A and B are shown apart, each in its own frame.
Chain A
Amino acid sequence: MKKKFLSLGLIAALCGSLAACGSASGTTSSSTAAEATSGTTTTASGDAFKLGASGPLSGDASVYGIAVKNAAELAIDEINKKGGVQFELNFQDDQADTEAAVNAYNTLADWGMQVSLLTVTSGSGQSVSPLYKQDNIFAITPSGSSTAIIYQDAENNKNPYGNIFQMCFTDPNQGKASADYLSEHTDLGTKVGIIYRNDDNYSTGIYNTFVEEAKAKNLDIVSTGTFTKGATDFSVQIKQAKDAGADIVFLPIYYQPASLILQAAKNAGYTPTFFGCDGMDGILTQDNFDTSLAEGLYMLTPFSADATDEKTQSFVKAYKDKYGETPNQFAADAYDAVYALAQALGNSDVTPKSSTDDITAALIKQFTTMKFQGITAPGDITWNENGEVSKEPRAIVIKNGSYVSAE
């Protein structure tokens, strides 16, 4: 009998706590419970736009979420100091999980988010885009590169949401650009081997368009290898590429499995030219990485920490000073995304007191017409009305342990 009373008591307590939490986050944003405000960075003075975002702060992909969060905070600090547009950031942990991303979105919505960086990973982004559309909140994702983030019909690139933009290239665009680059630079090699991750959105997305464009450009693909999450042994894939005589190996994957592939290739005595996309960025800054493994590796990336232009250098220096490590392209895209938002908001006449609809409409108008100069492209960055970004990728090659422009 006691057990039953205990259970009922627990239930009452549960309801009570839910009610307490619920009512706290349901009322005015200034009195939000500790759970929401502890995620915020409040260096703003005066009225600030509420900028929300979610990303993996724990789990395997947390290196990317933390990079985006750090860069966003850095950008916001600088912007707030200048006066003018002010931001208040609330970065929630979504563990790169679709369910947690929806929970994170709802937390942010309860907090009163007005603009957003959407999510860091594509999988999470896909699941919250419809919610952003429903609530008509403007979002620009620094790194969610799947087309399903900006298009409702991802297969045919139709029915854009309209209020969701990307700072990064879409996966299909990277695949196409890579194939184009390889077909124009036949000095790198003529027989292409590919190793990609087949249970990952990003990797498969790039792979599919790469293969399509390769066919159109008559590139010779001699070997295709795949792997799944957590794989560490690539001896089979390397051997197949080697036996097929591939002199270029295309790696549309992230740098962590890429470094294992490079090691496996070295073990097998195989020295093709490796070619990667923006996920490859960060390979040199792995703790204790043997940079000789990556010698001669090419990549198409929006950002290079070794680029010599002033904007990049001051960003890298500021990031290093504040966080003690070199930023990668996730951080760079996040930095640019926040600055782009600041520019757009500054040029429009909405204020933090405006309605979300007004803010979103103003931002869409700004983004589709403005030109932005940032650190993730040498020239101007523009957007079309579907939310796709248009910027020139940089071709980078690794020489003597640092990123060098390959133009």
Chain B
Amino acid sequence: MQFLSYLISGLGLGSVYAIMALGYSMVYGIAKMLNFAHGDIIMVGAYVAFFAISGAGMPPAVAILLSVLVCTVLGVVIERLAYKPLREASSLAVLITAIGVSYFLENGALILWGADSKFFPSNIFPQGGITLGSLTISWLTIITIAACCIIMILLMLFVGRTNTGRAMRACSEDKGAATLMGINVNMIISLTFAIGSGLAAIAAVLLGATYPSISPTMGAMPGIKAFTAAVLGGIGSIPGAFVGGLLLGVIENLSKAYISQQLSDAIVFGVLIVILLIKPAGLLGRKVSEKV
């Protein structure tokens, strides 16, 4: 019984990781870049939602939409200003620039909104949950997992079935050839960032509702965890991000519960290494062979 309870809380934790990892994986899969600023876009989304609800008194649904809008715009602006000039450069240069953007967002938030943590409004989602015997599954966990599934299915449909999605896949395989086919690569990449950042906003609201303390540096740890989850599931794979996130949350909680809390970081990363050794491209990733 205890095990089930830990499993469920692990799923709750993992579902938040999964939504964060989805945005990460998507941007990597299409634009082939590790957007280290993803965690900080989440932070901005959380703050926007916070000010919208508690400051301006907007209803939650409107606040969430506003947060998605702001994050989307922010993502596109960052892409245009900082990443586009480096399209031709090595991926490492883009990585470092992403780190610069991350520092910029964190310190900007620190100056604008102060260093003290703020408490995210807890009334957005219904409190309480379903009780089955001695197990309680909170509504928030259910909503988060549901949101995750819906987003994943929508994304897969979008990327797999629509023309734009096809264009995205073309860009990720070969930008040059895609341009030759008449695809506006700039537009596609901006769209990718827009979607990724929009997802970050949704992740932000769910993260804030589950763990209500928000601060300018709240994006750092989720950023690393999202990256880990995305790689665990196979980077670039959308269902992989979902699976990776859930798995990461479950492993983390179970290791905290049964092995050691002091060493839980080491254990989680140790498990990651073992899994990657067994499946070098992540759980659902495909090993792309290079043809000579």
**Interface-forming stretch among A80-88, A227-235, A371-379, A385-393?**
A227-235
- Is A263 interfacial (CB 8 A cutoff)? yes
Q: B5 contacts A239, CB within 8 Å? A: yes
**Alpha-carbon gap, A243 to B134, bound state (A):** 12
* Chain B nearest Cβ from A69, distance in angstroms: 12
Lowest 4 A-B CB distances belong to which pairs? A230-B221, A62-B115, A232-B211, A287-B118
- Complex partner residue of A286 from B5, B110, B117, B221, CB under 8 angstroms: B117
B residues with CB within 8 A of A: 2, 5-6, 9, 12-13, 50, 54, 107, 110, 114-122, 136, 138, 210-213, 215, 217, 220-221, 252-253, 256-257, 261-262, 264-265
Closest to A66 in B: B115
Q: A263 contacts B212, CB within 8 Å? A: yes
* Chain B nearest Cβ from A44, distance in angstroms: 28
- Is A63 interfacial (CB 8 A cutoff)? yes
**Alpha-carbon gap, A198 to B54, bound state (A):** 34
Instruction: State whether A58 and B13 are in contact (beta carbons under 8 Å apart), knowing that A236-B261, A259-B213 are contacts in the complex.
Output: no
**Alpha-carbon gap, A239 to B259, bound state (A):** 15
- Complex partner residue of A260 from B12, B107, B116, B213, CB under 8 angstroms: B213
Q: A263 contacts B110, CB within 8 Å? A: no
10 A-B residue pairs with CB within 8 Å: A60-B215, A63-B117, A226-B261, A229-B221, A232-B213, A233-B211, A239-B2, A239-B257, A259-B212, A288-B50
**Alpha-carbon gap, A257 to B218, bound state (A):** 12
- Complex partner residue of B9 from A226, A236, A269, CB under 8 angstroms: A236
- Is A225 interfacial (CB 8 A cutoff)? yes
**Alpha-carbon gap, A332 to B5, bound state (A):** 43
List CB contacts (< 8 Å) of A269-316 with chain B: 269, 282, 285-290
Q: A62 contacts B110, CB within 8 Å? A: yes
- Complex partner residue of B116 from A235, A237, A239, A286, CB under 8 angstroms: A286
* Chain A nearest Cβ from B94, distance in angstroms: 24
- Complex partner residue of A232 from B50, B107, B138, B221, CB under 8 angstroms: B221
> In the complex, which residues of chain A have a beta carbon less than 8 angstroms from the beta carbon of B262?
198, 226, 228
Q: B136 contacts A286, CB within 8 Å? A: no
Complex interface bits, A236-272 against B, C-beta within 8 A gives 1, otherwise 0? 1101100100000000000011011001000111000
Instruction: State whether A259 and B117 are in contact (beta carbons under 8 Å apart), knowing that A58-B110, A60-B215 are contacts in the complex.
Output: yes
- Is A22 interfacial (CB 8 A cutoff)? no
> In the complex, which residues of chain B have a beta carbon less than 8 angstroms from the beta carbon of A46?
none
> In the complex, which residues of chain A have a beta carbon less than 8 angstroms from the beta carbon of B220?
230
> In the complex, which residues of chain A have a beta carbon less than 8 angstroms from the beta carbon of B221?
229-232
- Residue among A66, A229, A267 facing the most chain B CB atoms (10 A cut-off): A267
Q: A63 contacts B261, CB within 8 Å? A: no
> In the complex, which residues of chain A have a beta carbon less than 8 angstroms from the beta carbon of B257?
236, 239-240
Q: A289 contacts B119, CB within 8 Å? A: yes
> In the complex, which residues of chain B have a beta carbon less than 8 angstroms from the beta carbon of A66?
115
* Chain B nearest Cβ from A294, distance in angstroms: 11
**Alpha-carbon gap, A269 to B5, bound state (A):** 14
Q: A59 contacts B122, CB within 8 Å? A: no
**Alpha-carbon gap, A240 to B116, bound state (A):** 30
* Chain A nearest Cβ from B75, distance in angstroms: 23
